[in-house]
Chain A
Amino acid sequence: MRPADTLRFARDAALGTPLRTALSVLAMSIGVAAVVVLTALGDGARRYVVGQFSSLGANLVIVLPGRSGTGGFNPANAITTTPRDLTIDDAAAVRRAPAVKRVGPLAVGTSEIAFGGRLREVIVAGTNHDYFAIRGLEIAQGTALPDEDWNRGSPVVVLGAKVREELFGATPAIGQLVRVGDRRLRVVGVMKSTGQGLGMNTDEVVIVPAALAQAMFNTNTLFRILIEAKSREAIPEAKVQALEIVKQRHRGEEDVTVITQDAVLATFDRLLGALTMAVAGIAAISLAVAGILVMNVMLVAVTQRTGEIGLLKALGASARSIRLAFLVEAAMLSAVGAVLGYLLGQGGAFALRQAFPVFPAYPPDWAVIAGLSTALATGLLFGVMPARRAARLDPVQALMKH
Chain B
Amino acid sequence: MALIELAGIERRFQLGDTTVNALAGVDLRIDAGEYVAVMGPSGSGKSTLLNLLGLLDRPNAGSYRLEGRDVTTLTPDEQAKVRSARIGFVFQSFHLVPRLTAAENIALPMMLAGIAPAERARRVERALADFGLANRADHKPDQLSGGQRQRVAIARATIMQPALILADEPTGNLDRHTGDEVVHLLEALNASGVTLVVVTHDPTLGARAGRQLVMEDGCLQHDSGRSAHAAG
Contact = CB atoms under 8 A, between A and B. Distances in A.
Interface of A: 1-2, 5, 9, 12-13, 15-16, 307-308, 310-321, 395-396, 399, 402
B83 A314 contact: yes
A1 B114 contact: yes
B83 A315 contact: yes
Nearest to B112: A317
15 contacts: A1-B111, A1-B112, A9-B111, A307-B95, A311-B97, A313-B83, A314-B54, A314-B83, A314-B89, A315-B109, A315-B112, A318-B77, A318-B81, A319-B77, A395-B57
Contacts of A313: 56, 80, 83
Main secondary structure of the interface of A (DSSP, over half): helix
Interface of B: 51, 54, 56-57, 76-77, 80-81, 83-85, 89, 91, 93, 95, 97-100, 108-109, 111-114, 156, 160
A34 B84 CA distance: 47
A396 B77 contact: no
A399 B168 CA distance: 12
A21 to B, nearest CB: 12
A317 B80 contact: yes
A183 B76 CA distance: 101
A106 to B, nearest CB: 76
Given A313-B80, A317-B84, A396-B56, 11 more contacts: A2-B114, A312-B112, A313-B83, A315-B83, A315-B108, A315-B109, A316-B80, A316-B84, A316-B85, A317-B80, A319-B76
A316 B81 contact: yes
A14 B76 CA distance: 27
In the A-B complex, list the 6 residue pairs whose CB atoms are closest, starting with the nearest.
A316-B84, A16-B99, A316-B83, A395-B56, A315-B109, A317-B112
Contacts of A5: 111, 114
Nearest to B51: A396
Contacts of A307: 95
B91 A396 contact: no
A402 B96 CA distance: 10
A396 B113 CA distance: 20
Contact of B100 (A1, A12, A318): A12
A290 B35 CA distance: 54
A310 B80 CA distance: 12
A318 B80 contact: yes
Contacts of B160: 316
A1 to B, nearest CB: 6
A62 to B, nearest CB: 71
B99 to A, nearest CB: 4
Contacts of B81: 316, 318
A311 B95 contact: yes
Contacts of A399: 56, 91, 95
Q: Which of A1, A12, A311, A320 has the most CB of B within 10 A?
A: A311
